[in-house]
Structure formats: C-alpha cells, structure tokens
Amino acid sequence: SYVLTQPPSVSVAPGQTARIPCGGNNIGSKSVNWYQQKPGQAPVLVVYDDSDRPSGIPDRFSGSNSGNTATLTISSVEAGDEADYYCQVWDAYNDHDFGPGTQVSVL
Amino acid sequence: QLQLQESGAGLVRPSQTLSLTCAVSGGSISGGTYSWGWIRQPPGQGLQWIGYLYHSGHTYYNAPLRSRVTISADGSSNRVSLNLTSVTAADTALYFCARMAPMGSFDAWGQGALVTVSS
C-alpha cells in the first residue's frame, strides 16, 4: 500500500490561514482528495483531484500538490472549520489510501 | 439529490458474518462511470477503505480484508451490500457506504452504521 503522512494536529487563530500537509513518496504524480469530518458526521469531500472544489464548498478551501507533499489550505479560518481532515489517493494498484488525519483546532 | 443510507445489524457475534446494505436514492447505481465503496472507521480512529464495486462490475478489496469481504449490488433495488465474515472485535467500527467518482474521490457518503462485534 501507499503510505500517507499527516500531522496529528494543527492549530490556527480565527481569520488566519491553516495549511495541512499530506506527505507521500512522489505524491505530486497522484491525484489527491481531501475530506472534512466533524464529530458524529460522515466525511465530506472538500477538494478533489488536487485542487478542485465540489459545488457548495467555499473557495476558502484550496489544494495544491507537488513533489512529496500535497497541501490543503483553509483561508480566513472560521470556528466552523474545526474538524478532522483526511487526505486520500487512489493508487496505481486500484487501492485507496487514507492519511491518518489531522485535527484542526481554531484557537 | 443523491442519498445513501446504510442499514444492518448493529451487534454481531464474534466469528459470525457482518452484513450491511446501502440503499441509494436520487440516482441509479447501474450504468454510468460511478463506482460504489465501503469505508469504515473504528472508534476514535481514522478512515480505512474496505473495498469497492467498480462501474465495470469488478470488485477491489483492501488486502488485509480480501479473504473475508464481499461487495455486491442489486440494480433492481438500487442497493449495494457488504458482507464481512469471521468478524472479531477489531471489526467494530462505523461503516460508511460512499459513491466513488471516476478519478477516485468519494463524493457522496451515507451517515454510517455502527457495528459492534461482541458476545
């Protein structure tokens, strides 16, 4: 399987920018998806194919992917952005791989 | 609007079979380029994919579970099913069904079904 790494937690003040890295060997060659999961809820896709947003997702959420790191960026962070965030790839062996998740706390 | 709803037994005895069904409404599970998957989340842990039914009809399973899992679909009832045999306490989790888009993202999820394995 393909190993993805994420920091366990990221803290950010309201109105500031949160950057959540997702590491993987040559991840820049893969398509990365990001999910937001709030307590007691199902995950929600917030970024797909590295940097595209599903309809209904605010443009405060953006993604990038290069080299060995993909990054989810949340601009102008709000209290409602507190959640766990997971990166995910669909690898060349038709397997799915999820990162361990990053808990975003809004100070 | 596409909706997915998981259902099944919430308590399963060790060594027995876990069976869940995902009812899909607002869209057909047959035809097109979407696939249908199952993902689980043990209490307090992250997401683990179980497997998916590709739109071609082929199934793909996570290697550690491959010998125990079966995913199937019933187009007439628009349902996707998950069977996991010989369960242990390690299979206790919240089980989600999800639609998989052509590029591999899961763009629609059910609310999840909690399954506890205990005697």
Find chain A residues with C-beta within 8 A of B112's C-beta. 42
B2-37 in b/e form (b: 16+ CB < 10 A) is: eebebebeeebeeeeebbbbbbbeeeebeeeebbbb
At residue A29, the 3 state secondary structure works out as helix
Contact B46 A99 (CB under 8 A): yes
Find chain B residues with C-beta within 8 A of A44's C-beta. 109
The chain A residue lying nearest B112, using CA atoms, is A42
Mean pLDDT of A18-27: 97
By DSSP bridging, strand B18-25 and strand B79-84 are antiparallel
Is there a contact between A74 and A81 (Cβ–Cβ < 8 Å)?
yes
Contact A48 B101 (CB under 8 A): yes
Interfacial residues of A (vs B; Cβ cutoff 8 Å) = 1, 31, 33, 35, 37, 41-45, 48-49, 54, 86, 88-90, 94-101
Calculate how close chain B gets to A87, using CA atoms only, in Å. Answer: 10
Chain A contact present for B109, CB below 8 A: yes
Among A35, A42, A94, beta carbon nearest to B60: A94
Model pLDDT, residue A94: 82
Per-residue pLDDT tens digits for B37-94 = 999 999 999 999 999 999 988 999 999 999 999 999 999 999 999 999 999 999 999 9
Q: What whole-number distance in Å separates Cα of residue A88 and Cα of residue A100?
A: 10
Model pLDDT, residue A9: 98
Q: What whole-number distance in Å separates Cα of residue B34 and Cα of residue B107?
A: 10
Per-residue pLDDT tens digits for A32-91 = 999 999 999 999 999 999 999 999 999 999 999 999 999 999 999 999 999 999 999 998
Torsional class of B111: left (φ above 0), alpha (ψ -120 to 50), beta (otherwise): alpha
Sequence letter at residue A68: N
Find chain A residues with C-beta within 8 A of B54's C-beta. 94
Contact B62 A95 (CB under 8 A): yes
Find chain B residues with C-beta within 8 A of A27's C-beta. none
Find chain B residues with C-beta within 8 A of A35's C-beta. 47, 106
Model pLDDT, residue B9: 93
